Amino acid sequence: MKTNNFFDPDRFFGLLKQDILFNFKFYLSFMVGLSIGIYVFSYLLIRNVDPSIPYYMIAYDNLQNILLGAMMIFIGMSFPAFRNQTSTCYFLLTPGSAFEKMLVQLVVRFVLFIPLALILLHLGTLLAIASMQPNPKSGFDPLFVDSFNFRSYFFDSGFFTLRAMRDLALLFLVFAGSVFFKKYAFVKTLAVMVGLPVGLFLVGGRIYWTKIYTDFLTGYNFIAGLTPLIIGILLFSLPWTYFTLKEKEL
């Protein structure tokens, strides 16, 4: 058995096929639930919008955050075999390198899931708009709702690019946490993500951090101020995931 090679294409695709077949019901049910959730939230958010507010503001400020939350949950549930001692042993003994096993999860959770989730968001909003009726009292007319797209989010300079980097850093962080923690990995990772800024707030003092936030870290400046941390997470999350997985195999 070729278990010591860093990467073998046949073995990698075998692991990928095994993961998809074994978790097919979960993946399918999650996507169905996500599709329904996107439609419902899209309908509620768009239907109750003030006609004077451009639709893209709702898309970026509400729907994108909802989708990010769903992505974090799905990616935070990577390496499901580690949630049970028996399945953990089976997973670690399965022929394949640590890199191949990590790459399988990256392909499923990032390469396949994220683009599909974005497509579902686009289709869900279009379906929600198509199922609406004009409301003369509020002045709402679905014909004048701007079409939804992520072009500004991914390609425009400034705030949206930093926001995309932030979201990707969060996803990489929960991905690393899914290997680092055993049970309730996503909940524990989320607790760390929330606990760190709260801890800094308590240590630094309410007045000090409130002044920093008010004067410097609002809107664009807030995410810009976090850029070094974001870049650090992007650079070190995947190596951390790999070496943690490698350590579990020893």
Percent of the chain with pLDDT over 90: 27
d(CA 62, CA 41): 9
Question: pTM of the prediction?
Answer: 0.80
| Residue in the structure block whose two tokens are 């090679």 | 5
With a cut of 50, say whether residue 3 has pLDDT above it: no
d(CA 223, CA 231): 12
d(CA 14, CA 171): 26
- DSSP string of 89-143? HHHHHSSS-HHHHHHHHHIIIIIIHHHHHHHHHHHHHHHHHHT---BTTTTB-GG
In tens, the pLDDT along 144-189 reads 776 666 665 555 545 556 777 888 888 999 999 999 887 788 888 8
Distances (CA, A) of 193 to 110, 132, 186: 20, 38, 10
In tens, the pLDDT along 30-79 reads 999 999 999 998 888 877 766 556 554 555 577 888 888 999 999 999 99
Give mean pLDDT, residues 233-249. 87
Give mean pLDDT, residues 85-107. 88
Q: Which of the 8 DSSP states describes residue 62?
A: I
In tens, the pLDDT along 5-15 reads 788 899 999 99
Q: Give the pLDDT score at 73.
A: 93
Q: Give the pLDDT score at 151.
A: 62
Question: For residues 148 and 55, is the Cβ–Cβ distance under 8 A?
Answer: yes
In tens, the pLDDT along 177-234 reads 999 887 788 888 888 777 766 665 566 555 555 555 555 555 555 556 666 777 778 8
At residue 181, the 3 state secondary structure works out as coil
Q: Which of the 8 DSSP states describes residue 211?
A: H
Q: Give the pLDDT score at 187.
A: 84
Q: Which residues pair with 140 in a beta bridge?
A: 135
Cβ–Cβ contacts within 10 Å for residue 14, how many? 16
